[in-house]
Amino acid sequence: MPTDELESHLRSTFARAAADFENPDQARQRLLLRDYHPRRGNRRLAAGITTAAALVVGLVAVIAAVGHGPATRATPLAAPALRTRLLAAIDTASGDILYAHGGPAPGGGGTFQSPAYPQPGQKVHIRILGLGSGGAIFKDGEYSFMMPSGNDGANSYTSNLDQGGLQLSGTVMDVNHFRHLWGAWHSKFILGFTLDAAGIRAEIANGQFKVVGSTELRGQRAVELNINVPPNNEASPHVTTARLWVDATTYLPMQQFLRMSNGQQNVTDYTFLRPTAENLAKLRPVIPAGYTRAGRIQVTGPKPTMIKK
């Protein structure tokens, strides 16, 4: 066993050598831009996965992902009047806070995003809250950035996905509940997702849905829509079925259901919250008393080296 003094020198020298890594942010961005998943049959979905990995700011706009493949553009199926109402509803609620949560993962947490449908020049805040099966928080972070110009419509949204997402810079705040640390720093990141409301709006604007019928969801009247999924001959898994439920009164999205070719299913619930002070507070990670502010590396890196006395 090396002596305590030698171990102490080893720890401090290793810490210095590891900190000497040049441009870790760039390496990290390159890594997170890469696609670690098999190719899907749909470019939208693949792009969403890849670029969302770069940031994890929000949920992959899977509705947008399945609506129209690169090679197949289905005939619009939407009822024109309903399409108009759906688009108007999202536009009207564009300044709200969108809370998206659900899925098969235990706990789940969710994503709060404000505004729900950002316009160029608007400040966007996205908080990602991850909860474990026992309700304990394992992830709590916020990304803030300015929505760049030229991203105000369905076409620019989808073209951004095709190009691998938006290169952005902004502020990242992260609370590490394992180490009782928090930090905030300026950083560059990729906006690849998402903006669920924007993705859904893009799909509706392109008319890639048909009305299934009226139903009830969460005690409210809802309209069930079947999102058009183009034929897909590529390797599994890929989306085979996509459904969207919208509120029959407000016409805002309530729930999305996806079935994959391997049988897996995913449900995401949407809630639009008015931007009251109480709701806006939900965009900010909570820093429990006693947590220490630390630099980025300390917050996101490995357990700090302890020097033995």
Partner 1 sequence: MDWVSDAASRRQFEGFAVQASDSLLRTGYLMTGDARDAEDLVQETFLRVARRWNRVRSMDHPAAYARRILINLVLDDAGRRSRQQAELGPQDAAIDAADESATRALRDVDDLAEFRWALAQLPARQRAVLVLRYWADLPVAEVADVLGCSAATVTSTASRAAARLAQALTTSGLPSTGSTNRPS
Binding site for partner 1 (CB under 8 A): 1-3, 5-7, 9-11, 13-24, 27-28, 30-32, 34, 36-38, 49, 52-53, 55-56, 59-60, 62, 102-105, 108, 128, 130, 139, 237, 258, 260, 262, 264-266, 268, 297, 300-306
Tell me whether residue 79 or residue 287 sits nearer to partner 1 (CB atom).
287
CB of residue 41 vs partner 1: minimum separation in angstroms?
13
- Write down the least CB distance from residue 273 to partner 1, Å: 20
Cα 36 to Cα 201: distance, rounded to the nearest angstrom = 28
Q: Which is nearer to partner 1, 133 or 149 (CB)?
A: 133
- Min. distance of Cβ 36 from partner 1 in angstroms? 4
Question: Which of residues 41 and 207 has its CB atom nearest to partner 1 in the complex?
Answer: 41
Where on the phi/psi map is residue 128: left (φ > 0), alpha (ψ -120 to 50), or beta? beta
User: What are the phi and psi torsion angles at 81 (to 5°)?
Assistant: -65, -40
Q: Which is nearer to partner 1, 83 or 127 (CB)?
A: 127
Shortest CB 174 distance to partner 1, Å: 9
Minimal distance, residue 7 CB to partner 1, in Å: 7
d(CA 216, CA 115): 27
Vertex 153 angle, CA 101 and 167, to 5° = 70
Closest CA to 140 of 165, 168, 172, 94: 172
